[in-house]
Each structure stands twice: as C-alpha cells, then as structure tokens.
Amino acid sequence: MSKKRGKKTYVSLLAELERTLKALKRYWFLALLLVTVLSAGTAGLFYKSSADDAFLKLTYNYENAVYGLLPNGAKLDTYLVMSDEVMQNVLKRACITDMSPRELSSLLSVTPMNSHTFSPENTASYYISTSYMVILDEGKAQTKYRIPRRSMLNLIGNAYQDYFIQHYTDDGISIEIPPARETDREYEEEYEYLSMCAKELLSYLNSKSNYANSFVSESTGLSFPVIRQELNNLLNVSLPDCRAFILEQGVAFNRSRYIAKINYLLNDMNRNYEKGKNAFDIRGEVIQGYDGEMVSTVLIPTEDTKEKFYMSKTQTGVDYLALDRSTSAINTSRVKREIEKQENIRTHMQLVSENSSADTDKAGALLDRIRAELSRLLKATNQTNTDFNQQKAGEYVKISVSGNGLMEAIGGKKILAAGFVFVVVAILFVRKLSMWKEKHEKV
Amino acid sequence: MKKFDILRYIKKGKYWIVLASLVAGMLFYFIQSQKQTYVARTMIEYTYHEAAEGKNPRGEDLDVSEVKSTTVLQRTISQLNLSESIDSIRSALSYQGVLSSDESSVKSAMLAEGKEYTKQPTRYLVTYTVDSSKSSEYANSVLDAVVSNYITYFGEKYVSTHIIPNNAAAAVEEAYDYLEKADLMNSHIEAILDYMDGKGDSFLSFRCASIDCTFQVLYDQYEFIKDHDLPYVYVDILDSKISNDLELLLAAYRQRVENGHVEINYNSNAAAGIHETMDQFSKKNKESIGKAADSVGNSYSYILQNVYENERENVIVDRTTTYDRLIDEYTNYLISASNVEVDVNYYNYIINTFRSKSTQTSEEKKATKERITHSLQGISEKLDSLYQKLLLGVNEYNAERGSSKLRMRTNVSVIESMNIRRYAIIIVFVFGVLMSGVIIVIGRVSDFVEYTFWTDHVTGLPNRRRCDQYIDEMSKNMLQENFACIMLKLLNIREINSQFGREGGNQILSMIAETQKNVMPQEAALFYNGNETFICFVEQCNLDRATHLLNGITQQINAINDERKELNIQLKTAMTESTSEKVFNIRAILSSTFKKL
C-alpha cells in the first residue's frame, strides 16, 4: 500500500517537474524579467538601507590601545568623539550653522566592537576592544541638515582623528621666540633666553631623531637629524660667538641698571651660598663629633652593580650626615659657579663705560640672526613633525565608514541570497500562470 | 463524516495561526520592553602592590566606594551633559570585589585549614543599571565616563598631589607694598620650582601633549623669570627706595629682625639642649653596653638575629637609633639657626637701604613706580600663563599616573536583564503550536456538526437543509451572468431497491454523488435534495460549459451502466443557465430547472 503511494508521489512529482519546465520554457523571458526586476529593486532597497545603517569604525593601532590606554599612558576615552571640540569642528567643516555641538553629539552613540561578555572570575575572558562603532541617528535631529550620512560620518571621523593627534600625540613643540628684540632686554639676557630655547628644541629633536630617524618631510625636505645638526651648529658656534662678542665688548643696553641687577643677583646668590656653606660646615663638625661607639656597624657580604662581591655595611647616622653634606657641597658649588659667572659678566660690563653704535649694532645683528635661525629651525621642526603625524595618523586612529564599497553598499551577499529566492518565486509564478492559462484554454 | 486529517485543519486555519502567533509575540515584546533593564559592567583593577593589603598608594585603607563619590559623578554629568542628578546615578552604580578562580581556591583551602585569608581583592566589578527609558548605549557611555573620571580622581588624590595654588595673581593686589609684591612673586616661583624639582627627573622629562612641551621647558621659563625679570623689579624698588608706606614697611622688617633673633636663640638653645642630652645618653649607653659585653664575652651576642628579615615581611618600621635621631635633630636646629641669621642680615640690609636717603626726585620716583607696576603686571601675566600650562600638564600627568595604578581590564559591556527577542521568537513558536491545536479541535468539532446536521449520510453531500440555506443566501442578490443550475434525478430507485435492497440503492446514490464530485468543478455547490434528486449550482458557467459538464456526468453514468449492465441506472437531467434564459433569481432558476426535470 505504502509502496504504491510512494510510487504515486514520485510520478506526480515528475509530472509536476515536467509541467514546471514546460512553463519555464514557454515563459522564460517573463521569468528572467521578473528575476531581474526583483533583484534590481532589492539592490536599490539594500543600498538605501545600507546608507541608513552606515556607521563609523574607529580602530586604535598603537601599542597601549590593547590596555585601554592613550599613547601617553592615560586612560583612553573614546566617548570624546562626542566632545564639544570635535562636534564644533564637524559643524564647521560641514558648514552647518544652525545646529549646536551638543545637539549633534546627542545624535551619536559609541559602542566597542567585538566586545565579549566577560566572566568576572575568569581573567582569560577579560578583553579590551581596540575598535569602536560610532552610530549616527539622524532621526533624532531637531535641526535637519542635507549631508548624506556617510559624508557626515567621514567628517566626524576626520575631526576626531585630528583631535586625537592634537591632544594625545606629539603635536610639535611650543617655544615662544619673540619675533624681534625686546627693547628693555639686555643683550646678554637675550642671548640667555635664545640659548635656553635652543637647548629645549635640541632636547625635543633628540627624542624625535631617535623615534623617526629616517623620516624626510616632503614640504621641508628635512629630517629631524638634519635639523638637529643645524641646531647644534647654532648652539656650538653662533651662540658662543655672540656671547663672546657681547662680553668682550661689554655690550649693554642700560649698563648701570644691568650692573645693579647683577649686584642684586649676586647678593641673593651669596645669601644662598652662605646658607649652603653653613649647612656644609655644620654637618662637617657634627661628623667630626659623631660618637662611633654609640652605633655598631656590621659588614654584609653582597654584590655591587658589576655583580662583584662587595662588603657593605649597615647604615648609621653618620652615613646620612655624609650624604647630606655631600649634597650641600654640590649645591654650594653650583651656586658658587653661578656667582662667578655673574661676577665675570659684571667685570666685563664694568670694563667698558660706553659702547660704540657699531658694537651695539653688531651685537643686535648677531642676536637677530640667531633668533631668525632659531625661528626657522623651530618652524621646520614643527612642519616636519606635522608631516610625520599626517603620515602616521592612521597608525594611531584608523577611521572607516561601513558601506563604502559598491558591493558592500548594495549588500552583495544579501542580494545573492535574495536572488535565489527570486528565482524560486519566478518559477512558481510562471507555473501558476501556465496553469491558469491552461484552465482558461480548456474552458 | 470527513477523515481526521490534521494537515487539512491546519491548512484551513493557517492564517489564524500565523496571525495569533505574531500578535502574541509582538505583545510579549512590547510588554517586556517596558520592563527591560540594561546592566553596564566593567572590571577595574588596582595594579599597585599595596592594593592586595586593602591599602591605597598612600598606605591608608582603600575606599572603592569613591567610584561613587560626588566629585567623580559631578565630572561625569558635566562631561556627558547629563540631566540626571548625582543621587540617581549613584543609586544605580554598584561595585563588588572579585577573586579569580585561583584566588578563590587558595582562599577556600586556607579557610578549610583554619587559617585567615587576609588578601584583599584587587579587581572590582563595577555595574551601572538603567531601566527601559534609557538605552544600552547610554548605560555604556555613563559607566565608561564614571570609571574614566574615577581613574583621574584616584590619580589626583593618591598618586600625585594637587599642584600648589597660584599665588602670583595675589602679588599684584593693591594691599601689598612693592617689595612685598616682588617677594610674593619670588616665593611663588621658588615654590613652583621646588614642587617640580621634588617630583624628580621623570616628572621634568614628561612630555605633555596638551601643552606640547615637557615640564622642563616650564621649569626653565620660571627660572628665567626669577633670574632675569624679577631682579629688575627689586633693583628699581631698592635703588629708588620705592614704598607705598615706608613706616609700615620698616616696622614690618624690624619685626622680622626681632623675630629672627628669637628664632636664632630658640634654635641655638634647642641645639645646645640636644647636644647635652646626647652626651649624657652616650655616656650611660656605653656603660650598659660595656657591662653586657663583659658578662657575655662580646657585645655582638646581644644583637637580635633575623629581626630585619621578620620585619621586612610586614610593614617597614623606622629603626633609626635614638642617638642618630638626636644627631639629626641637633644638626637641623643648628642649620635653622644659621639660616635665620643670614635672613636677619638681609632684613637689616633692607632696613638700612630704605633708611638711607633717596637721590631721586619725586618725578623720577613716580616714573619708577609706574615702571615697577608695569613690570609686576607683565611678570604676573607671564606667571599666570605658565601656571595654566602647568595645570594642564599636571592633569595629564595625573591621568597617566592614575592609569598606572588603576586601570580598566575590560571594555564596558551591557547585558540585558532578559533577551526579549529570543523569548519573543519562542513565544511565537509556542503560540503557533497552541493555535494549531485549537484550530484542529475547532475543525474537528465543526466537521462533526457539519456531518450531523448538514450532510446527507447516504451520499455524503450537503443535505436539503444546507441546500435551502444556500438558496436563501443566494436569493438576497441577483444572480450573475453565466450562473448554471444542473439537476439530476434517479428515476428507477424502486427497481434498484427491490433488486439490490435498500443498501444497494444507497450505494447507487453514493456512486452518482461521487461521479458528480469528479466531474463538477471545485467551486460548484453540490447538494442532495432528497427524493433521489441532486442539485448543483455553478458560477462562471455558460451554457456550453454547463452542457459539457452535464454530458460528462451522463457519459460517466453510461459508462457505469455499460460496465455493469445489471445496475441500469436511469437518470433524468435538466439545466438552466441564467444568461441564456434571462433568469437572474436563484429561486426562479431552480423552479425553471425543476420544471424541465
């Protein structure tokens, strides 16, 4: 009985298949047209929905990001993508004037991607994502704007990238070099100031040269080591030459006032020197009077920094006294050196009663040249650094907006799946059409 | 009665099943959405050594509840522009210490052995719960901001100290004399330089991204002002003897000299007293150590063994000897006395300077005063600008230091109290099954009713009552065109009954009914009207089609007669088509057909 029924089903299936193939053969063009129209329509819908679903992906590529930290070691706070500063920048770039940064930020939400649900007891389940998804919900906007979602997300990503580079990465060095000579500043003091700026710039260039040794800026044509070499020339040749000229010729803007200032400094330094010297002497006397019998010491076999056997002894008060006295000695010597330096300047200034205009002009010209050169090097450093940052920007924060590719935008995989469904629908449709026609033809 | 075919009932009620399931699912989703809560969670970890002892970096008791402190929540509200109150956020925040599975095992083992487990958790699970009026993204962002601010707060409070206050602004207030203003600025600069010096080289070389320089740059700038700008102010004040109130200034400095002498005496006396104590202490101690050494043989036997190692395991205690303490105090008092003496000399120098006569005219003095005021204002502005940079830099430094002691171990993840979507799908499925059951029961009951009241049990066709009901229904409206009524009557039922019995007659009637079912289209309404009469109504059926159908039935009956000659079924047929006969009322068409029959 069941065999019979099975055979009947098989035969009826074959008959159905035959009828379907016949229908397809008869209405192939209609079926093809139907599939094409449905596919094109669905692709359009997917494209539209893809635009509506687009989101901004922020990926942090530096080492500290896996610990949830900024490049400088502070905590990474991705929610600053919604900060007023970033939003202000976005509105400015998008030329939107009737929307507040706060309103724009209220349309955004940030969530970590690939975030696992962790188990508190299982440390292996702890995970910090380095990718974040920024979603823009335009539907909530009270103030409407006519910028496509993808473009808006790109603007937000770029503004945040700039914000990140500016706030959390090395954004150059800020040194204030006066554009021209300050009229009430002494020549020697100006030399001191420019010398200080040059040393600060050198320190910065040293760190940059280690980090980006081979980078050559396209706009300046310079690398950090090259700028450093030029700065070294300034520090080793131009600046000492300038100081030598100022001191040898006793070039001063207001000699008596300058000497009075040196005298005041010397008074101040001498007081400090006197205090330091007294402390040094007192500690010396106390060491002399220290009763060694009061505190026993023992020797401890140990190792020194070269991993050689070394006999150490237990610390006692005299050890600290000696160390403190040594520190006093170094500090007092340092003050003494400053005193001698100022006395030397005073001596040079006192040797000359009045400067010729040639001397002051030359000193001024030397300082102007140094200032100009230093400004040029500072500018070159910052420009090279900006170029370096632009090249490396993606290494800190990479931004991408989903749905940028055509296949992604129209939903490539989805449309393939939908296409299969459409083919089935088309077959069923032509089959029904064929049956309907047959019925009417019979009638 | 119809066969019990489950699929038939389900097929019949499929739309109801789908509709009811979807409605149930949607209702569930809607109701549960109102009750949904989102719990944002993250794990923080105190990474410094003392945390395991329940201490903060300062060595005090660690207070994790500071994650809910007003400062942290206030900063969060301000950062995210929230409209919520501090209390509402605080009440939704909670934290809980977490031990890893290894730590839990160790704890259990120690407790089982009756030992005390003193190690404190260093990891804490911090959660923030919101109801359905807020989104999961909201919970995520609030908790992240709370933890960020807590890390900064922790850094400020325990890892780094607050920066010293900006006193340079006070230095330009009118209440102070010129010399006092300069002194205030000088001491402010010295305090800042000491502050930065005290933080060590790692602080000075810390590069602040917010101000694009290291602290060393700021240090140099402060030092430059101290060495090159401020001295000119002093020179102007002292050379020109500029003062707002000379008498008051001199009185103040005289007082400083007197106080200085008092301080010198105090320090000298204290030093002398300590020195005397040291001598006595030293003498008595030597006597006791000497006696002990004589009795044992050597003094080293009295050194306790392994004290250092035992103490090392716990908290380090200051074991400086009393003699060394006295030496230290003695030295400090002597140095203080010496320093005050130098300061007193300076105060005397200031007094003598201001007592001597000024060679400047009143006009020159006025110009000097203006220059001093201008210089002080300029220096104050420079100091203020530097201080703002320092503040920014220190905040960044604190954030970095805070993160080194306390950090997040996971991203904030949000879990829902119930996975509404999943349960909604389950509800749809369950309701689908339940509705199918209901539909099957209803279908079967209606089959039973249909069979009992509306079906002719012999032919299996709808009976006369059903036919009347159909006619009543159709008589409410005019008939459409091409509406056909076909009738069949079995003429020789008596002969058949007498030949084959009543059973045989019934089988013949059933056979005719079956033949009609096979020939008539599916949409045709077929009835057994009693008295061996079959009535069939067919819509969309023109005269040709009606004739065709009738012929079909006749042919099939004839075929049966040919096959089984003994049956000899004699049928009388009649039909009426509405369009051809211009009859558009069901009763009229029925009557017409009856007449033809």
Tell me the per-residue pLDDT of A372-410, one tens digit each, with 9 for 90 and over: 999 999 999 999 988 887 777 677 888 888 765 556 666
Are B137 and A175 in contact (CB < 8 Å)? no
B98 Rama class: left (phi>0) / alpha (psi -120 to 50) / beta: beta
The token duo for A211 is: 């980090």
Contact A38, A424 (CB under 8 A): no
Residues of chain B in contact with residue A192, where contact means CB-CB under 8 angstroms, are: 224, 228
| CA distance linking residue B597 with residue B593, whole number of Å | 6
- Please give the model's pTM, rounded to 2 decimal places: 0.64
ipTM: 0.70
Which among A112, A261, A279 is the nearest to B231, CB-wise? A261
In chain A, whose CA is at the least distance from the CA of B411?
Answer: A128
Contact B96, B43 (CB under 8 A): no
**Chain-wide mean pLDDT for chain B?**
86
How many beta-carbon pairs under 8 angstroms link A with B? Answer: 194
Residues β-bridged to residue A110: A134
Max Cα–Cα distance, chain B, nearest Å? 164
**Number of Cβ atoms within 10 Å of the Cβ of B115:** 10
Residue B317 confidence (pLDDT): 61
Residues β-bridged to residue B10: none
Give mean pLDDT, residues A192-219. 88
Are B346 and A105 in contact (CB < 8 Å)? no
Distance of CA A258 to the CA centre of its chain: 45
Give mean pLDDT, residues B161-179. 76
In chain B, whose CA is at the least distance from the CA of A256?
Answer: B235
What is the b/e burial string over A101-126, where b = at least 16 CB atoms within 10 angstroms of the residue's CB?
bebbbbbbbbbbeebeebebeebeeb
Are A317 and B323 in contact (CB < 8 Å)? yes
Which one of A78, A294, A315, A318 would you mutate to disrupt binding with B, by most B Cβ within 10 Å of its Cβ?
Answer: A294
Percent of chain B with pLDDT over 90: 37
| Nearest-neighbour CA in chain A from B65: distance (Å) | 19
Residue B531 confidence (pLDDT): 85
Tracing tokens 């070691």 back to the chain, one arrives at A73
Which one of B208, B228, B320, B377 would you mutate to disrupt binding with A, by most A Cβ within 10 Å of its Cβ?
Answer: B228
Number of H helices, E strands in chain B: 20, 11
Which of A244-253, B61-70, B114-123 is the least confident region? B114-123
Contact A298, A307 (CB under 8 A): no
Residue B244 confidence (pLDDT): 87
Tell me the per-residue pLDDT of A90-139, one tens digit each, with 9 for 90 and over: 999 988 888 888 888 888 888 888 766 778 777 778 888 888 888 888 77
Give mean pLDDT, residues B58-83. 89
Residues of chain B in contact with residue A291, where contact means CB-CB under 8 angstroms, are: 278, 282, 323
| CA distance linking residue A224 with residue A389, whole number of Å | 13
Contact B548, B487 (CB under 8 A): no
* Contacts for A246 with CB less than 8 Å, ≥ 6 apart: A187, A188, A191, A363
Tell me the per-residue pLDDT of B91-101, one tens digit each, with 9 for 90 and over: 999 999 988 77
Tell me the per-residue pLDDT of A232-261, one tens digit each, with 9 for 90 and over: 999 999 999 999 999 999 999 889 999 999
In chain B, whose CA is at the least distance from the CA of A121?
Answer: B100
A119: three-class secondary structure by DSSP: coil
Residue A296 confidence (pLDDT): 67
Are A321 and B403 in contact (CB < 8 Å)? no
Mean pLDDT: which of A187-196, A210-219, B109-118, B353-362 is highest?
A187-196
Are A111 and B137 in contact (CB < 8 Å)? yes
Residue A372 confidence (pLDDT): 94
Are A74 and B342 in contact (CB < 8 Å)? no
**Chain-wide mean pLDDT for chain A?**
84
Residue B318 confidence (pLDDT): 66
Sheet holding A397-401, edge to edge: A108-112, A131-136, A55-60, A397-401
| Nearest-neighbour CA in chain A from B343: distance (Å) | 8
B312 — pLDDT class (breaks 50, 70, 90): very low
B161 — pLDDT class (breaks 50, 70, 90): low
Residue B176 confidence (pLDDT): 86
| Nearest-neighbour CA in chain A from B427: distance (Å) | 25
Number of H helices, E strands in chain A: 13, 6
Which among A172, A200, A264 is the nearest to B235, CB-wise? A264
Contact B403, A75 (CB under 8 A): yes
